[in-house]
């Protein structure tokens, strides 16, 4: 820059103005810069080549030439026109005030403009009067442009610094924060006052980290996305990536510039993703079910430990195989076919039980649960969840075999057996149950296989109150109950149920089994027994009544106690023998000849060989047998005491015959005493004859004709008997 103050004075005698004018043009041209001089009236009087070049013209000098400036027009740097009278040269001439480093715009005749830096000084004579002024100017257009560019750049930088979305701070060589931008302050929540001026280490969560950062930077190292944790004002910790380097002057660290990028969200997302991935991987490996991923060809892409263990093969081995490679030959086709349908999208997933061959050659059962991972482009890979069900399968097989066995057993049982689940739904019943209930139980039947139920007393018994329902609802065994089942055809079966709850290994109620024992036979037997006892009672009572009567009647007619005893005894014994015979015959019809023998022979003692009897084979009813016994007993007793059997010469002939008539069959008997002592009719009709008459005529509806002939007693008896008795 030209300093006009330093121009050498031309001569001590002449003024500066005069010296300038006197100097040859070459002197002005030698000045490195544009120079021109005006006289005190403003007339351009001298200028050099450089000035002419800048003006783009060589204006005339001297009076009536050019005023104040050799350019066409003047403007202020902001572009407003500058009147000549107001220009710095005019001011210098008028007031003597110099102008230093003023900027004006000069316009050439061709309209082009340049910015001129002007330095003007008034030129005075020895008396101090202003003789003129000198203007040294230079084109600073380019400089100005550079300066403007610099200013603008600086503004941009400031703007960038202050308004950047990225946190920025500058730390000096001592670690003190000297600047920080808005982004950094808002990231950490501090005001500029709270942040700037503090040591950067105060804001780091990890002292070793900031020590390391400062050490690196002071060593000239550049940090790229160095991870650190900053402490925000609210106490939270921000994860940041710091990019920084140091500025050195004379190998001394002046400051460091740090870009601070908040990666907290990123860090959290990353941590979450990592954790999720780790968990997934851990789950994958820790799963006790086998998990495998396979490509479209079935080649295994990933397998977990469980499946390696299951198949007894290493991971490497499995990853070189397809799942078909370890599948039992008979099960390959099905799995492959299903997998193909899954890959084609026809199946979303499938479940398959198949056999697989372990490396040791043993066969295991696997439950395969196959599905696909699909993205926008379609099938990505297959996921196969695999469970070793060998033990379960074997147990199942054993159980089903055992259950089949058990069911066969139940089927074979002669008793009605059925089972229900815990809710009482019938799950099984055997044929005996169908036979007993008279129906086949239907799907959804509850509590009992029977059609209708009644209590033992005949009152209706709702199914949900039956012993089986009680056993299930109260989870207890029910015993001692008795009920009656009615079949759809109306027949009834008395039975005893044996409902028993069933429990699983943990003691949970899972159902019940019931056995229905048909007690029809028992009931009938009970009834028969009751009838028998009643009948027995009846006979005993009737017999006692007969004995009572015989005793009473015999007593009335007896001559003495001996006579009473003897007569009563023979009557009771005759009765007893008839009972013996009938008991042997099970109280059914008895052959008449047996009856006669039983009654007469013991009675007659030694005389028995003097009793003859003959007749047709004929059976008599129990009632006729008893009455005939009484009659024969009376006849024999009388004959022994008074008649033919009372002497050695006498004898008795008993004969009988059967005669059929139109209406009935008659049994006719004749008792004839021969050769005994002469007979005289009794003076009064004794008990014996009264009894005989009653027995035959009253009880049997027959006829009895008793004749006391002198030659011997005869007795004719006629009773009607059933035709088939002969």
Residues that bind other proteins (CB under 8 A): 534, 537-542, 544-550, 552-553, 556, 623, 627, 630, 690-691, 694-695, 698-699, 701
Q: State the Cα–Cα distance between residues 685 and 698, nearest whole angstrom.
A: 17
Residues 6+ apart with CB under 8 A from 91: 97, 99, 120
Alpha-carbon radius of gyration of the chain: 74
Token reading at 213: 């950062």
Q: Which is nearer to other proteins, 508 or 548 (CB)?
A: 548
Q: State the Cα–Cα distance between residues 670 and 409, nearest whole angstrom.
A: 70
Q: Which is nearer to other proteins, 393 or 566 (CB)?
A: 566
Residues 6+ apart with CB under 8 A from 689: 634, 682, 706
**Shortest separation between residue 550's beta carbon and other proteins, angstroms:** 6
Token reading at 499: 């409902």
Q: Which is nearer to other proteins, 16 or 634 (CB)?
A: 634
- What are the distances in angstroms from CA 294 to CA 319, 320, 351, 457, 538? 9, 11, 16, 72, 94
**Shortest separation between residue 715's beta carbon and other proteins, angstroms:** 16
Token reading at 655: 């004969």
**Shortest separation between residue 579's beta carbon and other proteins, angstroms:** 13
Q: In the block, which residue shows the tokens 């701070």?
A: 169
Q: Which is nearer to other proteins, 617 or 623 (CB)?
A: 623
Q: Which is nearer to other proteins, 296 or 572 (CB)?
A: 572
Q: Is 361 exposed, middle or buried (0-12, 13-18, 19+ CB in 10 A)?
A: exposed
Of the candidates 648, 635, 643, 645, which has an alpha carbon nearest to the alpha carbon of residue 712?
643
**Shortest separation between residue 555's beta carbon and other proteins, angstroms:** 11
- What are the distances in angstroms from CA 516 to CA 417, 465, 484, 609? 6, 16, 10, 65
Q: Which is nearer to other proteins, 426 or 632 (CB)?
A: 632
**Shortest separation between residue 577's beta carbon and other proteins, angstroms:** 16
**Shortest separation between residue 535's beta carbon and other proteins, angstroms:** 9
**Shortest separation between residue 534's beta carbon and other proteins, angstroms:** 6
**Shortest separation between residue 600's beta carbon and other proteins, angstroms:** 20
**Shortest separation between residue 686's beta carbon and other proteins, angstroms:** 13
Assign 495 to helix, strand or coil. strand
**Shortest separation between residue 665's beta carbon and other proteins, angstroms:** 18
Of the candidates 289, 240, 291, 280, which has an alpha carbon nearest to the alpha carbon of residue 262?
240
Q: State the Cα–Cα distance between residues 650 and 604, nearest whole angstrom.
A: 12
Under a CB-based contact definition with an 8 Å cutoff, are residues 67 and 44 in contact? yes
**Shortest separation between residue 630's beta carbon and other proteins, angstroms:** 7
DSSP string for 564-617: HHHHHHHHHHHHHHHHHHHHHTTTS-EEHHHHHHHHHHHHHGGGGGGEEEEE--
**Shortest separation between residue 589's beta carbon and other proteins, angstroms:** 14
Q: Which is nearer to other proteins, 236 or 542 (CB)?
A: 542
Q: Which is nearer to other proteins, 30 or 544 (CB)?
A: 544
**Shortest separation between residue 540's beta carbon and other proteins, angstroms:** 7
Query: Cα 449 from chain centroid?
Result: 33
Helices 592-604, 561-584: axis angle to 10 degrees equals 150
**Shortest separation between residue 697's beta carbon and other proteins, angstroms:** 9
**Shortest separation between residue 544's beta carbon and other proteins, angstroms:** 5
Q: State the Cα–Cα distance between residues 596 and 617, nearest whole angstrom.
A: 12
Q: Which is nearer to other proteins, 540 or 664 (CB)?
A: 540
Q: Is 696 exposed, middle or buried (0-12, 13-18, 19+ CB in 10 A)?
A: buried
Q: Which is nearer to other proteins, 82 or 624 (CB)?
A: 624
Q: Which is nearer to other proteins, 123 or 691 (CB)?
A: 691
Q: Which is nearer to other proteins, 160 or 565 (CB)?
A: 565
What sign for the dihedral angle of Cα 535, 537, 540, 545?
negative
Cα torsion 424, 428, 431, 434 to 10°: value is: 30
Q: Which is nearer to other proteins, 108 or 694 (CB)?
A: 694
**Shortest separation between residue 538's beta carbon and other proteins, angstroms:** 4
Phi-psi category of 128—alpha, beta or left, where left has phi over 0 and alpha has psi -120 to 50?
A: left
Under a CB-based contact definition with an 8 Å cutoff, are residues 525 and 476 in contact? no
Q: Which is nearer to other proteins, 335 or 589 (CB)?
A: 589
Q: Which is nearer to other proteins, 273 or 698 (CB)?
A: 698
CA angle, residues 367, 373, 375, in degrees to nearest 5: 165
CA angle, residues 671, 674, 678, in degrees to nearest 5: 115
Q: State the Cα–Cα distance between residues 171 and 217, nearest whole angstrom.
A: 11
Q: Residue 68: count other Cβ atoms within 10 Å of its Cβ.
A: 22
Token reading at 256: 């460091």
Q: Which is nearer to other proteins, 479 or 685 (CB)?
A: 685
Q: Which is nearer to other proteins, 364 or 550 (CB)?
A: 550
Token reading at 603: 């009675």
Return the H-helix or E-strand segment holding 629.
Answer: helix 622-641
Token reading at 340: 């193909």
Of the candidates 37, 64, 65, which has an alpha carbon nearest to the alpha carbon of residue 51?
37
**Shortest separation between residue 654's beta carbon and other proteins, angstroms:** 21
């Amino acid at each position: 820059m030209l300093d006009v103050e330093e121009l050498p004075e031309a001569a001590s005698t002449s003024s500066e103005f005069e010296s300038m004018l006197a100097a040859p043009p070459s002197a002005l041209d030698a000045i490195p810069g544009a120079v021109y001089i005006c006289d005190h009236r403003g007339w351009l009087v001298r200028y050099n080549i450089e000035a002419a070049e800048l003006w783009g013209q060589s204006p005339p000098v001297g009076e009536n030439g050019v005023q104040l400036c050799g350019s066409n027009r003047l403007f202020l740097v902001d572009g407003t026109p500058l009147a000549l009278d107001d220009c710095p040269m005019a001011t210098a001439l008028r007031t003597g005030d110099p102008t230093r480093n003023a900027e004006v715009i000069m316009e050439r005749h061709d309209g082009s403009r340049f910015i001129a830096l002007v330095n003007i000084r008034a030129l005075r004579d020895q008396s101090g009067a202003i003789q003129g002024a000198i203007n040294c100017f230079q084109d600073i257009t380019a400089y100005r442009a550079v300066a403007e560019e610099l200013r603008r750049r600086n503004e941009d930088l400031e703007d960038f610094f202050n308004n950047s979305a990225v946190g920025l701070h500058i730390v000096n060589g001592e670690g003190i924060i000297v600047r920080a931008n808005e982004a950094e302050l808002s990231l950490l929540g501090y005001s500029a006052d709270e942040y700037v001026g503090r040591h950067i280490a105060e804001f780091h969560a990890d002292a070793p980290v900031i020590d390391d950062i400062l050490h690196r930077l002071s060593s000239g190292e550049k940090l790229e996305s160095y991870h650190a944790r900053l402490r925000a004002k609210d106490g939270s910790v921000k994860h940041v990536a710091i990019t920084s380097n140091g500025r050195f002057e004379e190998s001394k660290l002046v400051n460091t510039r740090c870009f601070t990028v908040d990666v907290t969200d990123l860090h959290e997302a990353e941590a979450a993703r990592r954790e999720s991935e780790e968990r997934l991987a851990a789950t994958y490996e820790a799963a006790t079910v086998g998990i495998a991923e396979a490509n479209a060809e079935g080649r295994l892409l990933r397998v977990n430990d469980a499946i390696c263990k299951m198949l007894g093969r290493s991971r490497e081995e499995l990853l070189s195989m397809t799942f078909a490679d370890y599948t039992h030959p008979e099960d390959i086709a099905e799995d492959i076919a299903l997998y193909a349908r899954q890959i084609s999208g026809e199946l979303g997933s499938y479940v398959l039980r198949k056999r697989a061959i372990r490396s040791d050659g043993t066969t295991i059962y696997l439950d395969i649960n196959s599905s696909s991972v699909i993205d926008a482009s379609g099938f990505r890979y297959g996921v196969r969840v695999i469970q070793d069900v060998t033990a379960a399968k074997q147990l199942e097989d054993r159980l089903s075999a055992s259950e089949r066995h058990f069911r066969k057993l139940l089927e074979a049982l002669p008793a009605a057996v059925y089972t229900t689940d815990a809710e009482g739904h019938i799950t099984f019943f055997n044929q005996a149950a169908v036979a007993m209930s008279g129906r086949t139980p239907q799907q959804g039947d509850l509590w009992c296989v029977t059609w209708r139920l009644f209590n033992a007393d005949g009152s209706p018994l709702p199914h949900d109150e039956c012993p089986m329902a009680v056993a299930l609802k109260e989870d207890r065994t029910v015993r001692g109950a008795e009920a009656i089942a009615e079949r759809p055809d109306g027949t009834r079966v008395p039975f005893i149920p044996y409902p028993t709850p069933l429990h699983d290994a943990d003691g949970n109620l899972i159902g019940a089994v019931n056995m229905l024992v048909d007690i029809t036979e028992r009931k009938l037997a009970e009834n028969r027994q009751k009838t028998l006892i009643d009948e027995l009672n009846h006979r005993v009572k009737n017999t006692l009544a007969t004995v009572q009567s015989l005793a009473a009647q015999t007593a009335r007619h007896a001559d003495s106690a001996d006579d009473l005893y003897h007569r009563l005894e023979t009557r009771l014994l005759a009765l007893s023998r008839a009972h013996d015979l009938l008991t042997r015959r099970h109280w059914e019809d008895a052959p008449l000849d047996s009856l006669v023998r039983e009654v007469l022979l013991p009675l007659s003692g030694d005389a028995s060989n003097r009793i003859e009897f003959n007749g047709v084979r004929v059976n008599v009813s129990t009632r006729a047998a008893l009455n005939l016994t009484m009659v024969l007993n009376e006849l024999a007793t009388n004959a022994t005491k008074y008649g033919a059997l009372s002497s050695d010469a006498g004898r008795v002939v008993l004969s009988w015959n059967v005669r059929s008539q139109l209406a009935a069959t008659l049994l006719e008997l004749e008792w004839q005493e021969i050769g005994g002592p002469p007979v005289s009719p009794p003076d009064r009709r004794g008990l014996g004859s009264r009894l005989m008459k009653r027995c035959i005529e009253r009880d049997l509806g027959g006829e009895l004709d008793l004749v006391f002939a002198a030659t011997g007693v005869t007795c004719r008896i006629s009773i009607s008997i059933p035709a088939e008795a002969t």
